[in-house]
């Protein structure tokens, strides 16, 4: 199975900050990485697919990058609604594994 | 409205069985592969199973292979997950999710249904 790791596991940031979360795959996965946001008690919400494509309806302050084994999710100018958990997911090969998540908290 | 609504969760004893349902509406259900994903309390997301559009191709996580069965009824726009030989570590919120056409991502999720395995 492909293992996904994320760093950091949590971070504290202020409104307006630029935040970057890193995701690393245990083997080559091309661009088959997606990013999800999840708020407490809610279902995940797709933000980025295929490493860098913005899902329809998602604010443009979210962006994704990377290929191969290393990927990033960046939030420019963090907004109050962005404080949540973020998960990467690989869909290169089954089982389609998720990273352990990064919790973004208010500083 | 485009949505997925899960049902069927509840409290079940170890070794018991449960069937989850996921009702789809507002889109062409039969055109999408579908998935189940679970999340244990306070933990991360774990992919469980997927099913192709006509219900003939299934894939499972090793942890549920042989115990869970995914299926669908396209006439009823409903996805199912039959769970048997349940264990305490199957306790989780179970989400159904729609596979986005052409992008291998989950673009629509239900609210989830909680399964608790305990004596």
pLDDT confidence of residue A96: 95
Inspect the interface and report whether the beta carbons of A95 and B47 lie closer than 8 Å. yes
Inspect the interface and report whether the beta carbons of A44 and B61 lie closer than 8 Å. no
pLDDT confidence of residue B70: 98
- Distance in angstroms (rounded) separating the CA atoms of residues B104 and B98: 10
**Lookup: tokens for B2:** 């485009």
For A44, the closest chain B residue by CA position comes to B109
Burial (CB count within 10 angstroms: exposed 0-12, middle 13-18, buried 19+), residue B84: middle
Among A38, A43, A92, which would you mutate to test the B interface (most chain B Cβ atoms within 10 Å of its Cβ)? Answer: A43
pLDDT confidence of residue B103: 85
- Distance in angstroms (rounded) separating the CA atoms of residues A76 and A40: 22
Q: Kindly report which listed range (A103-107, B68-72, B107-111) carries the lowest average pLDDT score.
A: A103-107
* Residue A49 touches chain B, beta carbons under 8 Å: yes
- Give the pLDDT confidence of B22-77 residue by residue, as tens digits: 999 999 999 999 999 999 999 999 999 999 999 999 999 999 999 999 999 999 99
Q: What percent of chain A has pLDDT over 70?
A: 100
Inspect the interface and report whether the beta carbons of B105 and A43 lie closer than 8 Å. no
Answer whether residue A1 shows pLDDT above 90.
yes
Q: What are phi and psi of A60, to 5 degrees?
A: -70, -5
Tell me if B81 sits within 8 A of B61, measured CB to CB.
Answer: no
Q: What percent of chain A has pLDDT over 90?
A: 98
From the list A32, A36, A87, which residue is nearest B104 (CB)?
Answer: A32
pLDDT confidence of residue B101: 79
Residues B73-98, mean pLDDT to the nearest whole number: 98
Inspect the interface and report whether the beta carbons of A94 and B95 lie closer than 8 Å. no
pLDDT confidence of residue B115: 98
Return the closest-CA partner of residue B47 out of B33, B64, B23.
Answer: B64
């Amino acid at each position: 199975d492909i293992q996904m790791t994320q760093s950091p596991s949590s971070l504290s940031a202020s409104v307006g900050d630029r935040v970057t979360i890193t995701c690393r795959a245990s083997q080559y996965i091309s661009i088959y990485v997606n990013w999800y946001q999840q708020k407490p008690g809610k279902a995940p919400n797709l933000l980025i697919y295929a490493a860098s494509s913005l899902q329809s309806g998602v604010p443009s302050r979210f962006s994704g990058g990377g290929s191969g084994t290393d990927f990033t999710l960046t939030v420019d100018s963090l907004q109050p609604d962005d404080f949540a958990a973020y998960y990467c997911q690989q869909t290169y090969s089954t089982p389609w594994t998720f990273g352990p998540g990064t919790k973004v908290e208010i500083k | 409205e485009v949505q997925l609504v899960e049902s069927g969760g509840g409290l079940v004893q170890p070794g018991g069985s449960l069937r989850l349902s996921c009702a789809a509406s507002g889109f062409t259900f039969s055109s999408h592969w579908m998935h189940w994903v679970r999340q244990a309390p306070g933990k991360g997301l774990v992919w469980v199973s997927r099913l192709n559009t006509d219900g003939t191709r299934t894939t499972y996580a090793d942890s549920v292979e042989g115990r869970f069965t995914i299926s669908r009824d396209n006439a009823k726009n409903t996805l199912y997950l039959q769970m048997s030989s349940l264990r305490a570590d199957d306790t989780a919120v179970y989400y159904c999710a729609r596979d986005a056409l052409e992008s291998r991502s989950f673009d629509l999720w239900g609210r989830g249904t909680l399964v608790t395995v305990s004596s």
